[in-house]
């Protein structure tokens, strides 16, 4: 029983030591500058009595005394340790006012990225390096892109981006920043009246183009229709011209045989008589002349 109580007591003491004593001991070691842990994407700058003792940029565990000397024991008490974010940052400036060479009021939206390249310069060269860099990019945009031809301003954005980057980069290095990519994302008109005029011109031009396309289609259809009608008229004319020739040739062939010609004309005559629906009286071929006269003299029935 006593052994069990002793085991439980030892476990409780070990738990308390692991839960409270170890963190307190590590905190004490850090406060006396024994070691420091640098997180990924961060940087530690140690300053004592206005002097930079050291800069830790590599992530991981660092022993401070070999790097900073005995002053490492005092830097957390009498100095400062500034932790900087070294990751890439981005910013977008909207509608920077510029004027084209023709005098059109234009707005330019510019996007740029930057990161801290020199932590010491970043901390001591400028009180607000990020704000100063933003103002410098805006001023460089207005200064380098004003009085450009309107066509170049609307089309050649790559050259404009390179011009702004070349103007801003030297100054950003002095402030501990390194400028990354710079890109002109938007170029627009700032005058509302001018925008409406351009919209009206575009709409009118679209209407003209649409009307021209419609009229061209109608013309093409008319050309096709007239061509077909002309071809049909030609063919009908040829047919009408050939019909008398064909009929004449047929009649000539029929006339070469008198029996066939007489028979054909008799058939045609009988056909005409049948079509006229006239009253026909058949008289025997061997009948007397008197019978024919009597039949002809007989009055027609109503």
pTM of the prediction? 0.60
Q: Is the pLDDT of residue 302 over 50?
A: no
Question: Which of 66-75, 93-102, 259-268, 280-289 shows the lowest per-residue confidence on average (mean pLDDT)?
Answer: 280-289
Query: What proportion of the chain, given as a percentage, has pLDDT over 90?
Result: 34
Report the alpha-carbon distance of residue 56 to residue 119 in Å, rounded: 10
For 120, the token pair is 């010491």
Average pLDDT over residues 206-223: 93
**pLDDT number for residue 15:** 83
Tens digits of residue pLDDT in 8-23 = 888 888 887 788 888 8
Pairing mode, strands 51-56 and 42-48: antiparallel
Long-range interactions of 102-105: CB distance < 8 A, separation 24+: 102/149, 102/150, 104/150, 104/189, 104/191, 104/194, 105/189, 105/190, 105/191, 105/194
**pLDDT number for residue 300:** 61
Report the alpha-carbon distance of residue 82 to residue 74 in Å, rounded: 15
In what helix (H) or strand (E) does residue 7 lie, and over which residues does it extend?
A: helix 2-16
**pLDDT number for residue 61:** 92
Average pLDDT over residues 149-161: 88
Count CB atoms within 10 A of the CB of residue 76: 17
Q: How confident is the model at residue 214 (pLDDT cuts 50, 70, 90)?
A: very high
Tens digits of residue pLDDT in 40-51 = 999 999 999 889
Q: Is the pLDDT of residue 62 over 70?
A: yes
């Amino acid at each position: 029983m006593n052994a069990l109580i002793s085991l439980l007591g030892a476990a409780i003491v070990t738990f308390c030591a692991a839960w409270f004593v170890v963190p307190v001991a590590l905190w004490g070691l850090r406060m006396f500058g024994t070691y420091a842990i640098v997180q990924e994407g961060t940087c530690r700058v140690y300053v004592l009595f206005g002097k930079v003792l050291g800069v830790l940029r590599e992530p991981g565990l660092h022993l401070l005394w070999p790097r900073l000397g005995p002053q490492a024991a005092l830097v957390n008490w009498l100095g400062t340790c500034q932790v900087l974010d070294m990751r890439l940052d981005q910013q977008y400036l909207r509608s920077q006012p510029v004027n084209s060479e023709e005098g059109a009021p234009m707005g330019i939206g510019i996007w740029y990225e930057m990161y801290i390249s020199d932590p010491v310069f970043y901390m001591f060269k400028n009180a607000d390096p990020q704000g100063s860099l933003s103002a410098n990019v805006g001023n460089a945009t207005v200064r380098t892109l004003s009085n450009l031809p309107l066509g170049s301003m609307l089309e050649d954005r790559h050259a404009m981006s390179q011009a702004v980057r070349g103007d801003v980069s030297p100054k950003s290095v002095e402030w501990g920043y390194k400028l990354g990519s710079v890109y002109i994302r938007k170029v627009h008109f700032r005058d509302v009246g001018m925008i409406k005029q351009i919209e009206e011109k575009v709409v009118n031009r679209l209407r003209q183009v649409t009307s021209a396309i419609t009229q061209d289609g109608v013309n093409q259809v008319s050309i096709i229709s007239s061509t077909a009608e002309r071809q049909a008229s030609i063919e009908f004319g040829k047919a009408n011209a050939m019909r008398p020739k064909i009929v004449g040739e047929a009649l000539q062939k029929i006339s070469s045989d008198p029996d066939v010609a007489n028979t054909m004309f008799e058939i045609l005559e009988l056909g005409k008589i049948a079509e006229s629906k006239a009253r026909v009286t058949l008289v025997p071929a061997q009948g007397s002349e008197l019978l024919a006269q009597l039949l002809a003299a007989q009055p027609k029935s109503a």
